Amino acid sequence: MIRGVVVVVLLSLLSLGTGVTGWTADDQGSRLTIVSPAQGAVIKGDSVEVRYRLSKGTEATHIHCYVDGEYQKGFKGVVKGLARGSHEIKLVAASHDHDALGVEAVVSIEVE
């Protein structure tokens, strides 16, 4: 438990000033970080590229993407068809069987 807390604190300190917008880690070594868009970014147009880093650990094999709570089937790194207004993009690490692992990263954006 203490080891996990120490890792989280160290990663938090290392991510300062790197543009990292959100991340979590788990006991199996999985870690997920949204690199872009930045928290509060203003997007022009109706699509946004979502760049992320996934350290897979022992369980994670891929991510699932949700926009405003809705699963984005076939997500390939770009969210399309965004209406004007505020949106929440959440990435969730998943296992080979598509089970969510509790490792997630969230960013809120504004579409003009």
Domains of the chain: 2-111 (2.60.40.10)
Question: Quick one: pLDDT at residue 58?
Answer: 82
- Whose CA is closest to 68, among 89, 97, 84? 89
Residue 74 φ/ψ, nearest 5 degrees: 75, 20
Question: Any long-range contacts for 85-88 (C-beta under 8 Å, 24+ apart)?
Answer: 85/110, 85/111, 86/110, 86/111, 87/111
Q: Which residues contact 65 (CB under 8 A, 6 or more apart)?
A: 50, 71, 72, 75, 79, 89, 90, 91, 92
User: What average pLDDT values come out for the chain (112 residues) when binned by 10 residues?
Assistant: 41 40 57 96 96 89 96 95 97 93 95 96
Q: Could you tell me the pTM of the whole model?
A: 0.74
